[in-house]
Structure 1
Amino acid sequence: MDRISQLVANNAAWIHEATTALDIPGEFTAVLWQNAHDMPPIFPNADILGGTESEQLAAIDALAEARAGRVVAVKDAWARLDLTSRGFEPLFEADWLYRDAGPLETVPTDLTLEHIQTAEGLREFSIACNGEVLAEVYSPKLLHRPDITWIAARRAGKIVAGVTAVFAQGLNGINNLFAADKSDESHLIRAAVNAYSNVPACGYESGDSITPYLVLGFQTTGQLRVWLKRPPVQQKG
């Protein structure tokens, strides 16, 4: 398995666990992780896992047909496909990130770091990360699991930054990094890496958000692209 295949397997495992906990489970095939349910906007309907280009396109066509008239979001882990002719538009591109196993030194900060342990804390984390409209996007079923670590950072008692570390497919996937003050991001990345420091860490970011990862020893290792197919506009009259 090539490195990007490993990274997307970790990412798909996380999305599968998160959506299954919401009672909208997807399924794994040789080509896609796919989910025909209506998804929260932070999750795709499909992660491309492998297969040939023709197999990938056929699987995407079948998923789009199953969701005819509804939004379809597809994550192309290798940024190889052009789905424009199928009615999709590129939503964003990002770089895959990878760091060899090993802990990171913690540095002094005025932040108070904590592991989220309660449903109330998880809801507060979600609001700080995604906004009030997605307050329930993470199920409390995802708490108290040895393979998922929720890390929040407080300042003056308020959550101002956070991150999720997910151990899956032999990797530590870093997700949901947010910080009101960008200078705090490195503290959260360090904490996430150290949650499962005995395995390599990975994730993806774009633009300036990549910088704190590079400073901490991550390297970019390929690109991904997310495509979105919007429902047709209903004509009035």
Structure 2
Amino acid sequence: MVAIGSDARARRLTAAVHNNAAWCDAVCRAHGVPTSWQSDWWAARQRSPRFYPDAITLRPGAAFAAVAGSVEAGRGSSVKDSWADLDLEPYGFTPLFDAHWITLNPPARGETVAAADRFRWTVVGSAHELLDWTAAHGADGTFPPSLLADPAIRFLAVRSAGRTVAGAIANLSGPVVGVSNVFGEDPWQGLVHAVGNCFPQRPLVGYEQAAELDRPLSLGFHTIGQLRVWHQPEADG
């Protein structure tokens, strides 16, 4: 993959951020959590489900005060600082983790089906399969079965002896496909092509922490920006 120019990089980063916010919005709405979209922010108006932020910045330099009144503040709340350019310590937040946004141009035509078949990625198609998938991921109760009916979302799995051994989620939003919740032993093997089968000819985007970057970078992904997740720690005990 040829390196992305600065203008294209900025556009891809913005698309990645909005894609991630769309995915978080879908998860929140599946749990009955009301959400709000503003020019600078996406926010859950009640506490978001486990593992999901209560707010996400949608542009660099967003002012936290503009969204502070929209989220359920207090211990356990979290904010995804999509450009890693905020200081939320005065608001009682501490950094939870840093990560890198990544992207990959789509596979060439004709490559996707054979590669995906070879690594036996399949689309999760039932509530029973989703229950097995979430158990393997360690995310019990996070993904309601109603998400399976969303045409912009695919839960992907590698199964062995009737059990999920690797998985990922792909979500289509605007010009890109987000790849998230990647888990299992060497889970990136064949995943790019499996996503391409579901949503052909769309660039892939996502984010990974530094310790998990080597495998996607070896497949041709490029980093396009940094993010930071802030949180207010849960009370002890």
SS of equivalent to 2:171: strand
Q: Is the aligned partner of 1:137 residue 2:142?
A: yes
Q: Is the aligned partner of 1:61 residue 2:68?
A: yes
State the distance in 1 between where 2:217 and 2:74 align. 41
Q: Is the aligned partner of 1:208 residue 2:217?
A: no
State the distance in 1 between where 2:60 and 2:99 align. 21
C-alpha distance after superposition, 1:199-231 (max 9, x if no partner): 111000012311221122210001000000135
Q: Could you tell me how far 1:50 is from its partner in structure 2? A: 2.2
SS of equivalent to 1:159: strand
Q: Could you tell me how far 1:29 is from its partner in structure 2? A: 0.8
SS of equivalent to 2:103: strand
- 1:22 pairs, out of 27, 31, 37, with 31
Q: Could you tell me how far 1:164 is from its partner in structure 2? A: 0.9
Provide the residue aligned with 1:98 in structure 2: 103
User: Any residues of structure 2 matched to 1:176-191 within 5 Å, and which?
Assistant: 176-179=181-184, 181-182=185-186, 184-191=187-194
Q: Is the aligned partner of 1:123 residue 2:131?
A: yes
Are residues 3 and 28 of structure 1, via their aligned partners in 2, closer, same or farther at CA, if it must alter by over 3 Å?
same
- 1:6 pairs, out of 12, 15, 30, with 15
Q: Could you tell me how far 1:128 is from its partner in structure 2? A: 1.0
State the distance in 2 between where 1:107 and 1:51 align. 38
TM-score (norm 2): 0.85
Q: How many residues align?
A: 225
Are residues 68 and 151 of structure 1, via their aligned partners in 2, closer, same or farther at CA, if it must alter by over 3 Å?
closer
State the distance in 1 between where 2:99 and 2:73 align. 27
Q: Could you tell me how far 1:136 is from its partner in structure 2? A: 2.2
Provide the residue aligned with 2:160 in structure 1: 155
Q: Is the aligned partner of 1:89 residue 2:97?
A: no
State the distance in 2 between where 1:223 and 1:194 align. 28
State the distance in 2 between where 1:90 and 1:190 align. 34
Provide the residue aligned with 2:85 in structure 1: 80
Gaps of 5+ in 2: 1-9
- Output the aligned Cα RMSD: 2.3
Provide the residue aligned with 1:71 in structure 2: 76
CA contact (8 A) 1:71 1:229 kept: yes
Provide the residue aligned with 2:202 in structure 1: 199
C-alpha distance after superposition, 1:53-102 (max 9, x if no partner): 4xx22124324xx5243421000110011111221100001100011233
State the distance in 2 between where 1:231 and 1:212 align. 32
TM-score (norm 1): 0.85
Are residues 215 and 233 of structure 1, via their aligned partners in 2, closer, same or farther at CA, if it must alter by over 3 Å?
closer
Gaps of 5+ in 1: none
1:158 is aligned with what amino acid? R
Are residues 197 and 218 of structure 1, via their aligned partners in 2, closer, same or farther at CA, if it must alter by over 3 Å?
farther
